A = this chain, B = another copy of it.
C-alpha cells in the first residue's frame, strides 16, 4: 500500500505493557501491507531520571556529555520496542540516530538536522523488516559526536525521515486524539479538527499550542509531507496537517466539506511583559534596545511602541518574551541604560497571550470585530495587540485567560456538542 512513518512519544511507551501495546499497533499496520518506519522517544520519565543523575554528578555538565547521556533513553526504548515486535512474529531492527543517517550541526542540546541519509533504513525496509529509529538524536557532521535536537526533537526526526524516505504520511502518536480548537483542559467543549493547514498549525504552535512543535511543522511544510496527529490510546482518526493545495484537493474530492474560517484559540501563560519607560524619541533607540536583547539570545514575541508625548520627547516601548528570559532581559537592558538613556524598566509576569488562528480570516473581514466584541462582553481588558494574516493575538491579565479563550471559542461557533477526551501524560 504505502510507506508510513509512525512516531511514538514517551507517554505512549511508558512501561513494558504499553511497549507491547504499541508493538501490536505497528505490526497491524505492517500486516495491512504498509512499509512502516517507527521513531521513538525515551520511555516515560527516563529523560528526567537521567537529568537527575547528571545533576548529582555535576552542577553544569558539558553539553556534549549531556547529549551522550540523554541518548541512552531512546536506545533503551527502541531496543525494547524491537523486541516486542519480534515477539509478535514480525522482524524489527533498531537504529540510533547516527545509524539512521540523521546528520546534524554540532550545537549540542539543540542541534539542527542538515542532512538525512537513511541508507540502512531503506535496506531494512527492502528486506521486509520494520526499522525502529531513535528520535531526538543525530550525529554531528564535523565532530562525529552524538547530538540531541532539543525540544520537539523526536517529532522532527520523524518528519525528516519521512521526507527523506518519500513516505506517504508521518503519523505522530500522542496522548490526545489530535489537534483541538482549544486546549480541552481549558475549554471542555473543544472540538477536534479534522484538517489544518501548515500555516494554521504554525500559528497555533507559535501561539502556544503544545501538540506539535513549530520546528517539525516547518520541516513538514518545506517538504509538503502530510502529518497525521493521533492518539496511541485509540483507533480514531486524528488531525491531518496539510498544504493549502492538499486541503483544496480533499474538499474537491468531497473528503471534507469546507475549511472552517477559524481553526482554534490558544492561551499562552508562559510569557512576560517588559516596558522600557521614557525612551528618547530619536531614530535608532528601538534598534539599540532590541540589539541588546538579541545579543543576550532573548526571543522577543510582541512589540508595541506608543506615540510619544510631544511635551517630553520620550516614548515607552513594550515587548513580551518568555518568562524564563525575564531576568536576563532586564540585566541586558540595564547594561545599556546609560547609552540609551531610558528612565525605567517595568516587568510583569502575570500576563496571558490569547490568540485566534484561522486561514479563513484572510477573506472574512468581520473576524476582528467579533474577536474584540467577545472579549469586551467577557470583561477582558486588552493590553497589547499583534496580528498576522491568519492570526490575532492580544495580551491580557493572566487571571482572565480562561474566560477569554472560552468567550472566543463560543463566539466563533467552535463549541462541540460533547466533551473532549483527555489522556494522561506528555511526550517529548
Contact = CB atoms under 8 A, between A and B. Distances in A.
Looking at A20, A60, A62, the one whose CB has the most chain B CB atoms below 10 A away is A62
B84 A57 contact: yes
A20 B57 contact: yes
Contact of A65 (B59, B65, B83, B144): B83
A59 B87 CA distance: 8
B75 A71 contact: yes
Contacts of A120: 144
Interface in A250-270: none
A71 B61 CA distance: 22
A80 B54 contact: yes
A40 to B, nearest CB: 12
Contacts of A71: 75
A16 B76 contact: no
B57 A87 contact: yes
A19 interface: yes
A327 to B, nearest CB: 25
Contact of A58 (B58, B72, B84, B99): B84
Interface string A95-136: 000010000000000000000000010000000000000000
B87 A79 contact: no
Looking at A61, A68, A87, the one whose CB has the most chain B CB atoms below 10 A away is A68
A56 interface: yes
A50 interface: yes
Interface in A168-225: none
A58 B75 contact: no
B50 A76 contact: yes
A66 interface: yes
Nearest to A120: B144
B82 A68 contact: yes
A75 B79 contact: no
Interface string A133-173: 00000000000100000000000000000000000000000
Interface in A12-55: 16, 19-20, 50, 53-54
Looking at A57, A84, A93, A144, the one whose CB has the most chain B CB atoms below 10 A away is A57
Given A16-B57, A68-B75, A76-B72, A83 B99 contact: no
A79 B68 contact: yes
A61 B79 CA distance: 9
Contact of A69 (B79, B87, B93, B144): B79
A9 to B, nearest CB: 18
A40 B131 CA distance: 30
Given A99-B144, A120-B144, A144-B99, A69 B58 contact: no
A94 interface: yes
Interface string A289-318: 000000000000000000000000000000
Contacts of A65: 79-80, 82-83, 86, 92-94
A133 to B, nearest CB: 12
A427 to B, nearest CB: 19
6 contacts: A50-B76, A62-B82, A64-B93, A66-B83, A69-B80, A99-B144
A-B CB proximity, top 7 nearest: A16-B56, A69-B79, A58-B87, A61-B83, A68-B79, A58-B83, A72-B75
Given A16-B57, A65-B94, A99-B144, 15 more contacts: A20-B57, A50-B76, A57-B84, A57-B87, A58-B86, A58-B87, A59-B87, A61-B83, A68-B75, A68-B94, A69-B80, A72-B72, A72-B79, A75-B75, A120-B144
